[in-house]
Structure 1
């Protein structure tokens, strides 16, 4: 998976445009960026309006999210937008957006990781009659055979976060993702880090895993030959614990539906009276409602997990309304 996604001819390193292969909240509507712009205001206020506010997008794709946020937020010249991506910088991206292969060593502001952790490589393990075994894959065909027993660090993570119970059960070992998320929190000197992703919880892990591939907008077999995106859902609860150990002072696990509704995306049809008094305004409001509805759909993008962790500030009250932050 590492080689297929990030090797010399990997899916991401050769500069594939993610929007050509799969649809994220960023591609669905600019209103996702509007909601995050509101979150920036909350974090900036909590930090006391620092001289520099870092806005870091980890796994930035082609930089679309930062490009959409910039016109709708103004921190009086204090905003430092940073795209973190292994792919080459795309042509036409605003020169005000910094392009890096790794996050800055020190961050004060907001870190966004929208569908990043699902592409952090994982190993798959299956419980056999001889015990748990790593799955070995032919990178040309995708053919699988049982391999060696998992390493001690793999076994420790599995016992804590994804215990296997019946022969044939599979798990996706997520400690590499926990470490990746912890590395973000270790850089955060003050502010908020947000991970948005397909997710599941310890008591509801899928028994056969979630590993899959995407190519040209279609779900395909996850053959690790570099021709497709390879992704698996994220154990965000395990990442949350890793973030706490890395220095997070407050944590909220919620859904995209709940978070975006709290940030003002309601998906409600405008009043019909508006159609008579302001037809153009009515059509604009109707379009916005439709886009909001897609972003908060509980059977679609709205079911994504949001992991919110802060350093030195509280979880914004607007996000924690009606929910429990720890």
Structure 2
């Protein structure tokens, strides 16, 4: 997975953009960035309106979030925002000069970190349960053919026992330890502010028995052959990442859904009043389009079903998120679980 996505001829090293292969909240509507702009305003107020307000987008793609967020941000913030796109692909043509492009997050961040569909692309290993215990699944890069390899490392076995217990032979787990380490590294870089991870997710009590590893190419689901020809992704154990963020020093944590988070940030998906069609037909059509875009972002069976992990450093949760009922969290069952350095940032 590492070579297929980030190797010399890997999918993202070639400059592929997510929006060209699958639909994201960013490509669906600028209303997503408008909600994040409101969240940024709350972070700014909680931090006492610092002279420099970082907005870091990890796994930025073509920096769509930053472009839209800057357009929606309060003008009073404009002179203090430092927008930073973190991406392994080359800087796209036409990107505003104000947006810094870099391959890794800054070591010190004050403000807002957004990781929208990033963790699902942090490489991981897959294991399959056998009669003698879990074995790593090895894959031939050119064909996707599989075979069972050696047992996973003691650290990975510990993570599996804590976060993805396996049942009968044939069951599979996707070892999310590299994602936990990658997210912990984000929290460690956050001096003060808020970090938000948005992704396909599942919880410990309902892990999919055969995993979620999937390939995407040109808008279609394909076999996850690791030859660099497709995006390879797997859903995220956000609850495990939350625990890693807690250990890394997070001040407050919220696990929720995109539907609940965006509704708290002002998105409704409500249609404009019908009489507006007679008074101002153009405004009515704009309102209909906005309602449709927001409804897609809020759809519980689609983008609205994404998980949101919000963690802060040196501040409470922003007011819009603080009142949300959190998704239930199940703590790790092992006291020996430790994070290692992330494989990719």
TM-score of the superposition, structure 1-length normalised?
0.98
Q: 1:18 to 1:322 in 2, by over 3 A?
A: closer
Per-residue deviation, 1:130 = 2.2
Distance, in Å, in 2 between the alignment partners of 1:145 and 1:115 is: 29
1:245 equivalenced with 2:243 (yes/no): no
Q: Which of 214, 217, 224 is 1:215 aligned to?
A: 217
2:141 to 134, 139, 142: 139
* Alignment-derived partner of residue 69 in structure 2: 69
**Are positions 1:34 and 2:10 aligned together?**
no
Partner SS for 1:9: coil
Tell me: CA distance 1:145–1:292, structure 2 relative to 1, closer, same or farther (3 Å).
same
Q: Aligned pairs, how many?
A: 326
Structure-2 separation of matches of 1:308 and 1:33: 16
Q: CA deviation at 1:105?
A: 0.4
The whole-number CA distance in structure 1 between the counterparts of 2:324 and 2:134 is: 41
Shift, 1:273, TM fit? 1.8
- Residue 76 of structure 1 deviates from its aligned partner by 4.0
> Secondary structure, in 3 states, of the residue corresponding to 1:272?
coil
Aligned equivalents of 1:317, 1:167: Cα separation in 2: 46
Instruction: Please provide the CA RMSD for this pair.
Output: 1.1
Q: 2 CA distance for matches of 1:245 and 1:319? A: 21
State the match for 1:303 in structure 2: 305
Distance 2:120 2:270 in 1: 31
Note the C-alpha offset of 1:305. 0.1
Return the alpha-carbon distance in structure 2 between the equivalents of residues 17 and 167 of structure 1. 38
5+ residue gaps in structure 1?
A: none
Partner Cα distance (2:324, 2:94) in 1: 42
1:60-209 superposed matches below 5 A: 60-73=60-73, 74=75, 75-209=77-211
Distance 1:194 1:17 in 2: 21
Task: Please list every run of 5 or more consecutive structure 2 residues that lacks an aligned counterpart in the other structure.
Answer: 330-345
> Which deviations, in whole Å up to 9, do the C-alpha atoms of 1:274-306 show, x marking residues without a partner?
222222111111110000000010000000000
Moved more, 311-320 or 257-266: 311-320
Residue 324 of structure 1: how far off its partner (Å): 4.3
Partner of 1:261: 263
Q: CA deviation at 1:116?
A: 0.1
Aligned partner of 1:15 in structure 2 is 15
3-state SS in 1 of match to 2:165: coil
> Which 4+ runs in 1 deviate beyond 2 A?
none
Secondary structure in 1 matching 2:255 = strand
Cα distance, 1:322 vs structure 2: 3.9
Q: Return the offset for 1:176.
A: 0.3
Q: Distance in 2 between matches of 1:179 and 1:272?
A: 51
Question: How far apart are the structure 1 equivalents of 2:118 and 2:71?
Answer: 24
Distance 2:295 2:322 in 1: 21
> Could you tell me how far apart the structure 1 residues matched to 2:110 and 2:160 are?
33
Structure 2 partner of 1:278 = 280
Distance, in Å, in 1 between the alignment partners of 2:86 and 2:324 is: 33
Residues 126-150 of structure 1, C-alpha deviation per residue, up to 9 Å, x if partnerless?
Answer: 0012211000000000000010011
In structure 2, distance between residues paired with 1:185 and 1:322: 21
In 2: Cα distance, 1:272 partner to 1:60 partner: 38
How many angstroms does 1:65 deviate by?
1.1
Q: Larger deviation: 269-278 or 297-306?
A: 269-278
Name the CA distance, whole Å, in 1 between partners of 2:278 and 2:315: 46
Of residues 71-80 and 167-176 in structure 1, the stretch that sits farther from structure 2 once superposed is 71-80
